[in-house]
A and B are shown apart, each in its own frame.
Chain A
Amino acid sequence: MSTILSLNNISKRYGIVQALDGVSFDIPSGSVYGILGPNGSGKTTMLGIVTDVLKADAGSFTLMGQTPSAAQRRKIGTLLETPNFYHYLSAYKNLQIVANIKQTSEQDIPRVLELAGLTARQHSAFKTYSLGMKQRLAIAAAMLGDPEVLILDEPANGLDPVGIAEVRNLIRQLAQSGKTIIMASHLLDEVEKVCTHVAILRKGKLLGSGPVNAVLSRDNFIEIGGPDNQALSQLIKQHPAFVQVLPAQDGILQVTFRETIDPASLNSWCAQQGVWLNHLQMSRKSLETAFLELTNN
């Protein structure tokens, strides 16, 4: 699998703020790569450096295995921060400018406008658009020329729930067609549903990068409940594979084991100890929990 983007020791400082501190990682071709991190963690700064609107203080990067240049950027569809368009021009005319800069055919404009649901308003001036429509136009601009690589910085910004679902579906479809998508987001739900890989940033430092499950370890746990949860809590600690027990909502216990536990055997083990379970469910730690654990440490 070839590498689309390779960052090597990138650092960037704004006055006293170290926005990025020696960040290195590779983005493989065909992956949906989530760049995660709290606000101000350096996500947009990193993407700004990759798109040449910001200059790194140190370090280097390659795009598609080559020294970065405008020619490579023309092959990447990018939505960075806010949608930036000429306010006095219509959506169509703005996309004409983008198509000409990308040196791609203007004939693709109707397709991307349709994709973004803006066909009916394509001749209205950008300044008359709502926030959601502006974001849709930015997504349309990124899709222009059907690029193999997309950089999307908070793509769901300003969209209503329907719009968010549409963008998520669009990203899924694009990923299925083999495109590489680099997506910065703080909406973990969004990332959990579409990303294959993640890089986690906190205060400019890279906490980890790679396949989602390798970076954010999300051990399976089992939710159990019985007539007397206090007694059950004492009992479960005696299980040979027991690691920890935490109280969950509604008096349910959340139990983590050293190894994968078969629910049937656990049920049987409890029954043998004289406790009959009335709740038993396999669960997985949410990405949000795993992310918070990682970024708070």
Chain B
Amino acid sequence: MMQIIKIEWLKVKNYRSFWVFIGLGLLAMLAPNFVIHDIFVKNIPKEAQQLLGQSMYDFPLVWQTIASVNSYTSGIFSLLVITLVCNEFNYKTHRQNVIDGWERRDFVLSKLFWVVALALLAFLTSLIAVFIFGGVYGKAPFSMEGSRFLFYYLLQVLVSLSMALLTGMLVKRTGLAIILFLGYIMFIEQILVSIVKRFFGNVGGLFPLQAGDELLPFPIVEKLVKFSGPYDSVVYLTALIVYIALFIWLVFQRMLRTDL
């Protein structure tokens, strides 16, 4: 596996788009939190703050806030996964890698590495954000209570990245894959969720990204409307794990059996 990681590093270390994506991804995880912190904590009238109760960026609420905000912005890493996968198809280097001596499985593992690495990067960045906002700006002492939200977030990012991996492997063309993926995360799933919830009930909350959203309600909104799902968290967590396993299984099926 170390050899595969080294080869992937050789592929990206001089690839400018890769670094732009990483930079944008990190910025998209930190910047919105600064903005939201400014609006809801720093510049909010004292009376309103009292109504809302504890600040969103105080421990333990900061875990949930960061996880919830970042769950909307870490899609940039999914676009990076699609780009890395589709590049291989565009340049036909997926074939060349196999011709030169990779097993097809190694090719899948090389892309799975990015799914895991980017998920961990998103997780660690969010963790650092929790410490910065909770520790530097927050007024409450450190607490691990609510840290589970960051693990829910990690799972949701893994679902999103493995879905991006599958989209890239199936569609193969960068532009089309990105449009389909963005379309799905931005509105197609929302439409499906609404339809299924309307006609079949709560099961509509078990769509891949929705299951994560149900686990990661935004702290203040949660108080105003019933946002989190009716099922126990275990149900949504199981759904997320099943989706990750399913997407990865489909990727292996696709790459191990078909012509490259």
A-chain residues with CB within 8 Å of residue B3 when the two chains form the complex: 100, 103
Number of B residues, CB within 8 Å of A: 27
Contact, CB under 8 Å: B258 / A70 = no
**CB of B16 within 8 Å of the partner chain:** yes
Kindly supply a per-residue 1/0 record for chain A positions 32-49, scoring 1 wherever the CB is within 8 Å of any chain B CB and 0 otherwise. 000000000000000010
Closest residue of chain B to A75 (Cβ to Cβ) is B101
B-chain residues with CB within 8 Å of residue A100 when the two chains form the complex: 3, 6-7, 10
Give the contact stretch, choosing among B90-98, B118-126, B193-201, B217-225.
Answer: B90-98
Q: With A70-B106, A97-B10 in contact, is A84–B93 under 8 Å at CB?
A: yes
Contact, CB under 8 Å: A54 / B93 = no
**CB of A180 within 8 Å of the partner chain:** no
Distance A100 CA – B259 CA, assembled complex (angstroms): 24
Kindly supply a per-residue 1/0 record for chain A positions 65-109, scoring 1 wherever the CB is within 8 Å of any chain B CB and 0 otherwise. 000011101100010101011111100010011101111000000
A-chain residues with CB within 8 Å of residue B92 when the two chains form the complex: 82, 84
Closest A-B pairs by Cβ, 10 of them: A74-B101, A84-B96, A84-B92, A53-B260, A101-B100, A70-B103, A51-B99, A53-B95, A73-B101, A54-B259
Distance A103 CA – B91 CA, assembled complex (angstroms): 22
A-chain residues with CB within 8 Å of residue B257 when the two chains form the complex: 55
Kindly supply a per-residue 1/0 record for chain B positions 1-30, scoring 1 wherever the CB is within 8 Å of any chain A CB and 0 otherwise. 001001100110011100000000000000
* Main DSSP-derived SS at the A contact region: loop
Contact, CB under 8 Å: B10 / A96 = yes
Q: B214: shortest Cβ distance to chain A, in Å? A: 40
Distance A100 CA – B97 CA, assembled complex (angstroms): 10
Contact, CB under 8 Å: B100 / A74 = yes
A-B CB contact pairs (8 Å), 18 listed:
A51-B98, A53-B259, A53-B260, A54-B259, A70-B106, A73-B100, A73-B101, A78-B100, A84-B93, A85-B91, A85-B93, A86-B91, A89-B14, A89-B15, A93-B10, A96-B10, A98-B100, A103-B101
Distance A178 CA – B32 CA, assembled complex (angstroms): 65
**CB of B102 within 8 Å of the partner chain:** yes
Q: With A55-B258, A85-B93, A86-B91 in contact, is A78–B99 under 8 Å at CB?
A: yes
Distance A141 CA – B102 CA, assembled complex (angstroms): 15
Number of A residues, CB within 8 Å of B: 29
B residues with a Cβ closer than 8 A to A are 3, 6-7, 10-11, 14-16, 87, 91-93, 95-104, 106, 257-260
B-chain residues with CB within 8 Å of residue A82 when the two chains form the complex: 92
Closest residue of chain B to A69 (Cβ to Cβ) is B103
**CB of A52 within 8 Å of the partner chain:** yes
Kindly supply a per-residue 1/0 record for chain A positions 53-67, scoring 1 wherever the CB is within 8 Å of any chain B CB and 0 otherwise. 111000000000000
Distance A87 CA – B15 CA, assembled complex (angstroms): 10
Contact, CB under 8 Å: A85 / B260 = no
Q: With A51-B99, A53-B99, A73-B99 in contact, is A87–B6 under 8 Å at CB?
A: no
* Main DSSP-derived SS at the B contact region: helix
Contact, CB under 8 Å: A80 / B95 = yes
A-chain residues with CB within 8 Å of residue B99 when the two chains form the complex: 51-53, 73, 78, 80
Contact, CB under 8 Å: A88 / B10 = no
Contact, CB under 8 Å: A70 / B101 = yes
Contact, CB under 8 Å: B14 / A53 = no
Contact, CB under 8 Å: A52 / B91 = no
B-chain residues with CB within 8 Å of residue A85 when the two chains form the complex: 91, 93, 96
Contact, CB under 8 Å: A97 / B7 = yes
Distance A96 CA – B99 CA, assembled complex (angstroms): 15
Q: A105: shortest Cβ distance to chain B, in Å? A: 14
Of B14, B91, B102, the residue contacting A101 (CB under 8 A) is: B102
B-chain residues with CB within 8 Å of residue A84 when the two chains form the complex: 91-93, 95-96
Distance A164 CA – B104 CA, assembled complex (angstroms): 33
Contact, CB under 8 Å: B98 / A53 = yes
B-chain residues with CB within 8 Å of residue A54 when the two chains form the complex: 259-260
Closest residue of chain A to B6 (Cβ to Cβ) is A100
B-chain residues with CB within 8 Å of residue A101 when the two chains form the complex: 7, 97, 100-102
Distance A85 CA – B97 CA, assembled complex (angstroms): 10
Distance A252 CA – B138 CA, assembled complex (angstroms): 102
Distance A102 CA – B7 CA, assembled complex (angstroms): 11
Kindly supply a per-residue 1/0 record for chain A positions 103-122, scoring 1 wherever the CB is within 8 Å of any chain B CB and 0 otherwise. 10000000000000000000
Contact, CB under 8 Å: A87 / B91 = yes
